[in-house]
Amino acid sequence: MDINGKVALVTGSAKRIGREIALEFARRGARLAVHYRSSVDEAKEVAGDRGAVFQADLADTKSIESLFAGVERTFGRLDILVNSASVFSPSTAEEATPEHWDAQMNTNARGPFFAAQHAARLMKRGGAGKIINIADVAGEIIWPGYLPYSISKAALIAVNRGLAKAYAPEIQVNAIAPGPVLFPEDYTEEQKRSAVERTLLKREGSPRDIVNAVVFLIENDYITGELIHVDGGRHLV
């Protein structure tokens, strides 16, 4: 699929990796639907003159429904969905509460599933589409200190495979599992060093590494159901 001229929705595109993906789409000529939860000013910066911004709480299915209704009213179609929005906070098995569990699962797995469901309905009208889920190496390795988060990303990897089967052949669904790229703001220097040391390449990745993988999956029309690790070999350690 050629990105130029396509309508692309990137969730969580006001900040971090979602922002970088959206800006690359804009550089390549896409018509941007910029989703945000609370960072409206940043979202408007990403959208620029050609894009449009949409607020939604992806933990709420009614809000997701409104998001896609707005995209349809504004653009009349949808060609690309990148599920980038995510929440990330620590909790061990003993510390986890139902509220923390729900917050991780609803945004990181349930939200992408129902976003993809709505996206696929629009994409099928055009006969083609691309859905890309930003997973995490934590979904395979499972981090004890971030247990509900890791489980939510494991669920997203399963969602990715299931949707690839459900929406073939018209729509290709793939996922990317980043490693240490754009550390959380509350990470200490020791946490950063530890994360880098657990990669084979012994260095931090960059948002560009993730963006390049997203573009590759969109432009290649013979890949679906795949999980691409962009983690410096972290999943092998």
Catalytic residue list: 149
232 backbone φψ class: left, alpha, beta (φ>0; ψ -120 to 50): left
